């Protein structure tokens, strides 16, 4: 009797994954305790890390939105998406260094104020990178993914991995981007403000005053640009004809075709929009961290994928929230737990999500799409 009861108990523990959940719950509790202790010890330093996490999280958000859009419409994890992000950063680099594209407002309108000229110049570089990445994504979709539209999903997934490797090592060729680490020339000068009880003070090479939080124009550009792009994406998806077509194709591709919707064109457009967001993210990431190289898209791409899964892949609000959580997790882990472990901690979130809520924060179980 006791043997039977013990056997049933152990089977229940294994089936419901209690051991794994208990272990992850313990790790989560330890991380929360460590961060809470740091918050009480130095609240201003904690707030500074939160600001840094927001800057990184919004970059991840733009990449994650591309993942979740493509998955929502064709049920494909596009692992080449991170490398499109890399291409966006290189396109912006050459636009700045070779073509001086960020300086065109000053050249055309010499009387324009410096601040306005800088804003227009940066936006121009971002738009060029977005267009280049969108065109690249359309080519990739038409050449690599469209022929496999009705093939098993594993075929498309393996193809996506192959496309990712091709983009990385083609970019490493000397006549393309080269395999060297390249210092990114920022299109604007970095301006940093110290925010404290005495107000906002612009720093000019001096050490920041005690009891202040630092905020740079780079962080503002990243946050504001990302929010504007997310709002624009929401408008496209919910208020335009192409957005309605996307939602229809995502729900039922065959029925959408019967209704006269060109599903192939809609899918290509979805790839293009997602890639454009990744291109913008590549520019913002390069401006923030000032170094680019041919495999720079691997880790941000994987972390953005985790963010999309965390939020519920297929959900746009979920991708945004998941990316912000990922940004905070990475920065706070590096600041208060261990810098070498920050990537491991960030990726462990994926394990937690799959164990506790496989559909993500905003995801819901759905029927298979045609």
Distance of CA 102 to the CA centre of its chain: 24
Contact 74, 158 (CB under 8 A): no
What tokens does 358 get? 């496989």
How far apart CA 285 and CA 55 sit, in angstroms, is 9
What tokens does 113 get? 């104020």
How far apart CA 46 and CA 54 sit, in angstroms, is 12
DSSP per residue, 226-282: HHHHHHHHHHHHHHSHHHHHHHHHHH-HHHHHHTT--HHHHHHHHHHHHHHHHHHHH
Longest dimension (CA), the chain: 91
Contact 121, 268 (CB under 8 A): no
pLDDT in tens, the chain (370 residues): 456 665 675 566 565 566 666 766 777 777 778 778 877 888 888 899 999 999 999 999 999 999 999 998 988 889 999 999 999 999 999 999 999 999 999 999 988 888 899 899 999 999 999 999 999 999 999 999 999 988 888 999 999 999 999 999 999 999 999 999 999 999 988 889 998 888 888 887 777 788 889 999 999 999 999 999 999 999 999 999 999 999 999 888 888 998 899 999 999 999 999 999 999 999 999 999 999 999 999 999 999 999 999 998 888 899 999 999 999 989 988 888 878 888 888 788 787 777 778 888 887 665 544 4
How far apart CA 130 and CA 122 sit, in angstroms, is 12
What tokens does 49 get? 């890390």
CATH code given to domain 21-356: 1.10.3470
CA dihedral 74→317→79→126, nearest 10 degrees, is 110
The pLDDT, as a whole number, for residue 369 is 46
How far apart CA 196 and CA 360 sit, in angstroms, is 38
Domain ranges of the chain: 21-356
């Amino acid at each position: 009797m006791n043997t039977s009861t013990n056997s049933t108990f152990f089977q229940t523990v294994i089936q419901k994954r209690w051991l794994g959940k208990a272990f992850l719950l313990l790790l989560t509790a330890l991380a929360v305790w460590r961060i809470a202790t740091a918050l009480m010890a130095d609240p201003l330093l904690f707030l500074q890390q939160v600001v840094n996490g927001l800057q990184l999280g919004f970059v991840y958000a733009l990449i994650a939105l591309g993942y979740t859009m493509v998955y929502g419409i064709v049920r494909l994890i596009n692992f080449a998406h991170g490398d499109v992000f890399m291409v966006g950063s290189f396109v912006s680099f050459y636009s700045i260094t070779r073509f001086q594209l960020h300086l065109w407002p000053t050249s055309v309108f010499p009387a324009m104020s410096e601040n306005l000229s800088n804003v227009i110049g940066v936006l121009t570089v971002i738009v060029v990178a977005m267009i280049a990445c969108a065109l690249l994504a359309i080519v990739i979709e038409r050449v690599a993914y469209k022929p496999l539209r009705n093939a098993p999903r594993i075929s498309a997934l393996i193809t996506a991995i192959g496309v990712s490797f091709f983009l990385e090592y083609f970019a490493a060729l000397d006549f393309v981007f080269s395999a060297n680490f390249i210092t990114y020339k920022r299109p604007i000068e970095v301006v940093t403000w110290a925010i404290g009880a005495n107000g906002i003070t612009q720093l000019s090479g001096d050490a920041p005053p005690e009891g202040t939080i630092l905020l740079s124009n780079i962080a503002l550009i990243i946050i504001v640009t990302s929010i504007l792009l997310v709002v624009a994406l929401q408008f496209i998806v919910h208020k335009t004809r192409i957005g309605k077509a996307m939602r229809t194709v995502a729900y039922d591709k065959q029925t959408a075709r019967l209704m006269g919707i060109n599903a192939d064109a809609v899918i290509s457009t979805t790839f293009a929009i997602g890639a454009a967001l990744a291109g913008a993210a590549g520019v913002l990431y390069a401006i923030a961290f000032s170094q680019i190289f041919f495999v720079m898209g691997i880790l941000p791409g994987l972390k953005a994928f985790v963010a999309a899964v965390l939020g519920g892949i297929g959900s746009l609000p979920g991708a945004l929230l998941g990316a912000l959580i990922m940004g905070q997790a990475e920065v706070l882990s590096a600041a208060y737990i261990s810098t070498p472990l920050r990537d491991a901690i960030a990726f462990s979130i994926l394990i937690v999500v799959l164990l506790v809520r496989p559909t993500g924060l905003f995801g819901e179980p759905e029927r298979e799409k045609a």
